[in-house]
Amino acid sequence: MAKAKTNYTCTECGGITNKWAGQCPACSQWNTLVETIIETGGNRFSNQHQGLAQTAPVVSLSDIDAIDIPRFGTGIEEFDRVLGGGLVAGGVVLIGGDPGIGKSTLLLQALANLSRVKKVLYVSGEESGAQIAMRGKRLSIDAKDLKLQAEIQLEKILHTLIEHKPEVVVIDSIQTVYSDALSSAPGSVAQVRECAAQLTRVAKQTGITIIMVGHVTKEGALAGPRVLEHIVDTVLYFEGDTHSSFRLVRAVKNRFGAVNELGVFAMTEKGLKGVSNPSALFLSQHDVAVAGSCVMVTQEGTRPLLVEIQALVDASHAPNARRLSVGLDQNRLAMLLAVLHRHAGIAAFDQDVFINAVGGVKITEPAADLAVLLAINSSMRNKPLPRGLVVFGEVGLAGEIRPAPRGQERLREAAKLGFSIAVIPKSNVPKHKIEGLTVIGVERIDDALNKIRDAGE
Ligand code: TYD
Ligand code: MG
């Protein structure tokens, strides 16, 4: 195929140049020029003015039938949950995660299930057919109707899609696919963007469901341009510690369902298995109460999860004390330490502070604030928090404790797992008593510290 004519477009300002340069001549940003195909076919806009092109009709919203989108399950309940109830015909899903976390495993299992009722195709650019067959054997899946293609050239993949008309296709991974029309290397921003856009176009035109695997950068974001996340319908991320057996799949964007929905899996000898009741997964079992540990209830999507937050505060010997957080926002930690100093008189400027959410779970909601502060205070004083304590609540810059959404559900889950004291924002305190749980409402951070001290005695 002949090379299409290309030029270079700035991803910041949209400026166009014929030759690549390190700096955009229009807006002077560095490293923003990416290769793009020049649209051919004459002047795209003139046709419409002459009324030659077919224009989509203008209709009233009320005249359109609001039919529910038909979905089909993947046979893996936890995967369907993050997808918002299953896959959608013509939907495009992007699934990102660290290498070796289980993306290929999950998708192979899902496709094998789907192959019993749908025409499916697994396009692999990363592994050979033999490698995938070996994995399939290990997973003991029924591979009779599971079609495989080891191909990385976009035009050939598109040809297969048109020819074989599969209903569900996995592209593993989008970074290995390249288009002949561009001269940039596979995996480059231009290639990834172009290939994803073309595949999405085909999905929308033909109703094929496409699941693309995406690599993540060292910072944990999907490698490739941000526009990739805008092109597709659903973006899922694999989270979790590769050393532990638990894996979380989180929806960060979903045009067909709720975001922040979480699927929980365990990696076993026979692939990924869904964990249907994960609320106690992220608690480490201490025989005796330890300092620096505080359990919080976080609400992930539609499900409350109990997560242990650990803190270690230790005298610093460096000119700048270290603040390190795993699974929680680092900037938020600095802010919380400032609040602790200003509103509770507890200084940590000469202390290294480390915090960790147990089990590799990432907590993005601010309702973790109170647990972080209590764990830090507990570690600093080397005094364990009362047994059976569970907390949640956002901490504001003025030292106030703000309510968290769905307080009742969080409390009920904590009570179910045997927690006996809950320290929560005052406005979250339920009107009716929850069996077995003493609920203490707090308004300010110093108030929370005092009430916990009293509860511990
Ligand atoms: P994989 O799906 O290849 O990861 P990705 O595609 O995200 O890079 O996962 C490979 C890891 O999973 C590897 O470390 C081995 C482990 N694994 C199991 O523990 N059990 C299994 O049944 C399979 C297939 C893999
Ligand atoms: Mg893989």
Q: How many domains does the chain have?
A: 3
The answer on pLDDT for 203 being more than 80 is yes
The binding site comprises 97-104
- 439 neighbors 430 (Cβ within 8 angstroms): yes
216: DSSP letter: B
Do 312 and 347 fall within a single domain? yes
Two structure tokens written together for 206: 């033909």
Q: pTM of the predicted model, to two decimals?
A: 0.79
Residue 438 CB partners (closer than 8 Å, separation 6+): 420, 421, 422
pLDDT digits 0-9 by tens, 379-391: 999 999 998 999 9
Regarding the beta carbon of 97 and ligand 1, being less than 6 Å apart is answered yes
pLDDT digits 0-9 by tens, 283-333: 777 778 899 999 999 987 778 889 999 999 999 998 899 999 999 999 999
Do 290 and 223 fall within a single domain? no
For residue 264, give the CATH number of its domain: 3.40.50.300
In a domain, 61, yes or no: no
The SS3 of residue 397 is coil
Do 231 and 301 fall within a single domain? no
Do 235 and 340 fall within a single domain? no
- What integer is the mean pLDDT of 177-205? 89
Closest ligand relative to 272 C-alpha = 1
Torsions phi, psi for 275 (to 5 deg): -110, 110
Do 323 and 427 fall within a single domain? yes
Residue span of the structural domain in which 133 resides: 72-276
Vertex 74 angle, CA 198 and 137, to 5°: 95
Do 86 and 199 fall within a single domain? yes
Cα of 96 to ligand 2 centre, how many Å?
10
Do 249 and 286 fall within a single domain? no
Atom of ligand 1 lying closest to residue 242 CA: 14
Domain boundary among 260, 276, 292: 276
Closest ligand relative to 134 C-alpha = 1
pLDDT value at residue 224 = 63
Regarding the beta carbon of 103 and ligand 1, being less than 6 Å apart is answered yes
Cα of 32 to ligand 2 centre, how many Å?
29
Amino acid, res. 268: T
What one-character-per-residue DSSP string does 70-110 give? PEE--S-HHHHHHHTSSEETT-EEEEEE-TTSSHHHHHHHH
pLDDT digits 0-9 by tens, 333-375: 999 999 999 999 999 999 999 999 988 788 989 999 999 999 9
- 240 neighbors 275 (Cβ within 8 angstroms): no
The answer on pLDDT for 249 being more than 70 is yes
- What integer is the mean pLDDT of 209-216? 92
| Helix spans in 207-329 (H) | 227-231
In a domain, 12, yes or no: yes
Report the residue among 105, 248, 270 best suited for mutation to probe ligand 1: largest number of ligand atoms under 8 A from its CB.
105
What one-character-per-residue DSSP string does 138-184 give? HTT---TTEEEE---BHHHHHHHHHHH--SEEEEE-GGG-B-TT--S
pLDDT value at residue 48 = 47
From CA 85, how far away is CA 78, in angstroms rounded? 9
100 sits in the region (left: phi over 0; alpha: psi -120 to 50; else beta) called left
Do 175 and 300 fall within a single domain? no
Do 314 and 402 fall within a single domain? yes
The answer on pLDDT for 47 being more than 50 is no
Kindly report the protein residue whose alpha carbon is nearest to atom 23 of ligand 1.
271
The binding site for ATP comprises 97-104
Residue 236 or residue 26, greater confidence: 236
Cα of 362 to ligand 2 centre, how many Å?
22
In a domain, 242, yes or no: yes
- 259 neighbors 253 (Cβ within 8 angstroms): yes
In a domain, 270, yes or no: yes
In a domain, 438, yes or no: yes
For residue 373, give the CATH number of its domain: 3.30.230.10
pLDDT value at residue 283 = 79
Residue 160 CB partners (closer than 8 Å, separation 6+): 121, 123, 149, 151
Q: Which residues make up the environment of ion ligand 2, defined by Cβ < 5 Å?
A: 104
pLDDT value at residue 45 = 47
In a domain, 51, yes or no: no
Mean pLDDT score of the chain: 88
Do 219 and 350 fall within a single domain? no
In a domain, 42, yes or no: no
In a domain, 393, yes or no: yes
**Cα 416 to the center of its chain, rounded Å:** 28
Among 336, 274, 332, 273, CA closest to 303: 274
Closest ligand relative to 108 C-alpha = 1
